Amino acid sequence: MTPKEHLSRVKVLFDLIQQTETEISMLKASADGMQGFSYDKERVQTSLADTGLENQLVIIEQMESRLKDLRVEYQLVRKRVTANIDKLTNERERKVLNLRYIEFKEWSDIFAEMNATQDVVYSLHKRALNHYRC
């Protein structure tokens, strides 16, 4: 895995968590609309098979379990990446990697925050990637 791929894993997991949370919310809203069912209320055994609700509830539970695992993985990867960034000796290289891969800043925001031109920031980023060890 390249340094950039390793660093980008934090954002990939963050986005996957956001997407999964959205999907769960949509499924819950859909389940709430099925025959007056309310996902947030205590479940009472009824004939759910006719509505497809039973399958939807199983899917929601599986997705919530997956979300929990993703959150744990995200925290571990973020901690590992942050520790690797902190090993860099150049403060500006650390800063550009933190802004881009930990705080998920856009390049234009990084230029402004570092008070540096595009060329300078890109050069720092390239050097930082060369020094970063996975």
Residue 102 shares a structural domain with residue 115: yes
Nearest-CA neighbor of 97 among 28, 37, 8?
A: 8
Number of domains composing the chain: 2
The pTM of the whole model exceeds 0.75: yes
Measured CA to CA in angstroms, residue 95 lies from 13, 17, 60 at distances of 21, 25, 39
**Residue of 25 and 38 predicted with greater confidence:** 25
Residue 4 shares a structural domain with residue 56: yes
The whole domain housing 133 covers: 90-134
Q: Please report which confidence band the pLDDT of residue 51 belongs to, taking 50, 70 and 90 as the band edges.
A: low
Residue 82 shares a structural domain with residue 97: no
Distance CA 54, CA 21 (A): 20
Instruction: Tell me what percent of the residues of the chain surpass a pLDDT of 90.
Output: 74
